[in-house]
Amino acid sequence: MIKEFKPHGGKRVNSLAVHPTDPLLLTASSLDNSIKLWDWAQGWTCTRVFDNHNGVNHLEFGPRDTNTFASTLDRDVKVCLICLFIS
């Protein structure tokens, strides 16, 4: 089944990243300056919102520590800790 939803209230999604091992998706929208973490095992619940991420061009989960992700905007990179507690 294909799931369709509007992760940022219908605003454009600039980037997304699928977690390599957990049922998680990161989405970013420069129109609301946020990154959202979605858990599809919990019915596509937004479990966390990361604010103040202006104009994200790309998202990527950490290759060695998947409890982190990086977001980029032009020449700037932000690295964030997610603190996953998946049961």
> What is the spatial distance between Cα 44 and Cα 55, in angstroms, rounded to a whole number?
24
**pLDDT at residue 41, as a whole number:** 92
pLDDT higher than 60, residue 74: yes
Mean of the per-residue pLDDT values for the chain?
A: 82
| Residue 3 φ then ψ, to 5° | -105, 130
pLDDT higher than 70, residue 1: no
Are the beta carbons of 31 and 11 closer than 8 angstroms? Answer: yes
pLDDT higher than 90, residue 37: yes
**pLDDT at residue 85, as a whole number:** 47
Which residue ranges make up each domain of the chain?
15-81
- 38 pLDDT band, cuts 50/70/90, is very high
**pLDDT at residue 73, as a whole number:** 75
Give the CB-side neighbour count of residue 48, counting CA atoms within 13 A: 12
